[in-house]
């Protein structure tokens, strides 16, 4: 069976005054129906840009490589140009929960009206039905007095209510593919658990596929089937969630897990990964992590290696430089 989504060899560059900036380099990922792919990684490593590529939502100065493919339901969405086609990937088959909720609600339109409007665009239903679906969804994400909140503007909600309203909006159209970009950053852990359970229920019921981007490794452990770890535009490691969290192979993944604050050991200092983040204008040749790696071999150190994932255990892929390095 073919995948629900397959991203092949994607590069994303931005054309700026500073020059061409590589935000994403040679990414390949796939998702099946009913599967959750978690993406973790450094802030600025290209997670949101990757997700937005699937909906063609990156800004006007974006350059994609010619041979990149993003296949959704057997169509290459990077080739979509007509309004009709774009509608399919922007709210039809694909919905996105954006990282910054304020950015996705128009300030002068009540949140309920925005929810109804987008349902009317994508579903063959009337206004009353759209309203009742929306209110029901607001209730399911734990918003009390949903009928009243439906009538408020985004700025009148708390940060986490806004985020939940956006989750409700994205789920209400029952997309085939959900792109959830840091969807729970503004939620306390009890409501977070409720929202995650809701997403899991809908995955089961509708066989929805999900890309779940988050910095919260606990959330990843609880929702994801597979995980991809990104650093400076590249996927450096990917595999089943259990493998990545319990048996990480790449030094960046290991560093990330070591930086995690441990609530059971408050005397431990917080341990960031040492070294500076390279400028995207000055991407290291060879392994992208070599400027911060605790033990690069000579080949790595001189930038003489070539990146590319290889399978080290069934389903567990790691950058080949690292494997050859030992």
- Chain residues binding ligand ATP by CB under 6 A are 14, 16, 21, 23, 43-49, 59, 99, 155-161, 186, 280
Q: Nearest distance from residue 191's CB to ligand ATP, in Å?
A: 8
Nearer to other proteins, 269 or 326 (CB): 269
Cβ pair 199, 171 in contact under 8 A: yes
For residues 254 to 293, the per-residue mask of contacts with ligand SF4, x marking binding by CB under 6 A and - elsewhere, is ---------------------------------x-xx--x
Q: State the Cα–Cα distance between residues 266 and 229, nearest whole angstrom.
A: 27
Cβ pair 77, 39 in contact under 8 A: no
323 alpha carbon, distance to own chain's centre: 26
Mode of pairing for the β-strands spanning 5-16 and 62-64: antiparallel
Enumerate residues 6+ apart whose C-beta is below 8 A from 302: 286
Count of residues touching ligand SF4 (by CB under 6 A): 12
- What are the φ/ψ torsions at residue 139 (nearest 5 degrees)? -65, -40
Q: Which does 300 bind (CB under 5 to 8 A by kind): ligand ATP, other proteins, ligand SF4, none?
A: ligand SF4
Cβ pair 169, 117 in contact under 8 A: no
Nearer to ligand ATP, 115 or 325 (CB): 115
Q: Nearest distance from residue 61's CB to other proteins, in Å?
A: 9
List the one residue out of 148, 147, 188 whose CA is nearest residue 164.
188
Q: Nearest distance from residue 211's CB to Mg ion, in Å?
A: 12
Of 43-51, 67-75, 146-154, 292-300, which segment contacts Mg ion by CB under 5 A? 43-51
Q: State the Cα–Cα distance between residues 182 and 214, nearest whole angstrom.
A: 5
Q: Does 214 bind Mg ion (CB under 5 A)?
A: no
Q: Does 155 bind Mg ion (CB under 5 A)?
A: no
Q: Does 231 bind ligand SF4 (CB under 6 A)?
A: no
- Residue 63 bridge partners (DSSP): 13
Q: Which does 309 bind (CB under 5 to 8 A by kind): other proteins, ligand SF4, ligand ATP, none?
A: none
Residue 76: how many CB atoms within 10 A of its CB?
13
Cβ pair 35, 58 in contact under 8 A: no
Structure tokens at 66: 């010619």
Q: Nearest distance from residue 207's CB to other proteins, in Å?
A: 21
Q: Does 48 bind Mg ion (CB under 5 A)?
A: yes
Q: State the Cα–Cα distance between residues 181 and 198, nearest whole angstrom.
A: 16
User: Considering only residues 239, 251, 255, 280, which one is a binding residue for ligand SF4 as defined by CB under 6 A?
Assistant: 251
Which run of H or E residues covers position 203? helix 189-206
* Closest chain position to ligand ATP (CB): 160
Q: Count CA within 13 A, CB hemisphere, residue 78.
A: 21
Q: Nearest distance from residue 215's CB to ligand ATP, in Å?
A: 7
User: Considering only residues 300, 309, 316, 317, which one is a binding residue for ligand SF4 as defined by CB under 6 A?
Assistant: 300
Nearer to ligand ATP, 89 or 119 (CB): 89
Nearer to Mg ion, 180 or 241 (CB): 180
Q: Nearest distance from residue 312's CB to other proteins, in Å?
A: 19
Residue 90: how many CB atoms within 10 A of its CB?
19
- Residue written as tokens 């994508």? 122
> Which stretches of the chain bind ligand SF4, using CB under 6 A?
251, 287, 289-290, 293, 296-297, 300, 305, 321-322, 325
> Which stretches of the chain bind Mg ion, using CB under 5 A?
48, 99, 158-159
């Amino acid at each position: 069976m073919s995948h629900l989504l397959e991203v092949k060899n994607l590069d994303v560059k931005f054309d700026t005054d500073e020059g061409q900036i590589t935000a994403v380099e040679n990414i390949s990922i796939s998702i099946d129906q009913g599967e959750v792919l978690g993406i973790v990684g450094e802030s600025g490593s290209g997670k949101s840009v990757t997700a937005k590529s699937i909906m063609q939502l990156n800004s006007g100065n974006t350059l994609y490589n010619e041979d990149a493919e993003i296949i959704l339901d057997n169509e290459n969405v990077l080739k979509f140009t007509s309004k009709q086609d774009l509608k399919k990937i922007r709210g039809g088959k694909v919905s996105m929960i954006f990282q910054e909720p304020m950015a996705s609600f128009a300030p002068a339109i009540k949140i309920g009206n925005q929810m109804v409007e987008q349902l009317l665009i994508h579903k063959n239903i009337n206004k009353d039905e759209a309203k009742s679906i929306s209110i029901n969804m607001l209730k399911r994400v734990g918003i009390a007095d949903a009928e009243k909140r439906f009538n408020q503007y985004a700025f009148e909600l708390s940060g986490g209510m806004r985020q939940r309203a956006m989750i409700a909006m994205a789920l209400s159209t029952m997309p085939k593919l959900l792109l959830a970009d840091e969807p729970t950053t503004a939620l306390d852990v009890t409501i977070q658990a409720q929202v995650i359970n809701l997403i899991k229920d809908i995955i089961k019921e509708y066989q929805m596929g999900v890309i779940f981007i988050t910095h919260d490794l606990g959330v990843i452990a609880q929702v994801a089937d597979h995980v991809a770890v990104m650093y400076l535009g590249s996927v450096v490691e990917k595999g089943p969630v259990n493998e990545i969290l319990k048996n990480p192979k790449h030094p960046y993944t290991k560093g990330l897990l070591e930086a995690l604050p441990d609530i059971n050991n408050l005397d431990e200092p917080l341990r960031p990964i040492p070294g500076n983040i390279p400028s995207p204008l000055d991407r290291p040749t060879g392994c992208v992590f070599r400027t911060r790696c605790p033990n690069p071999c000579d080949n790595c150190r001189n930038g003489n290696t070539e990146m590319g994932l290889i399978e080290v255990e069934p389903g567990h892929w790691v950058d080949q430089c690292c494997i050859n390095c030992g």
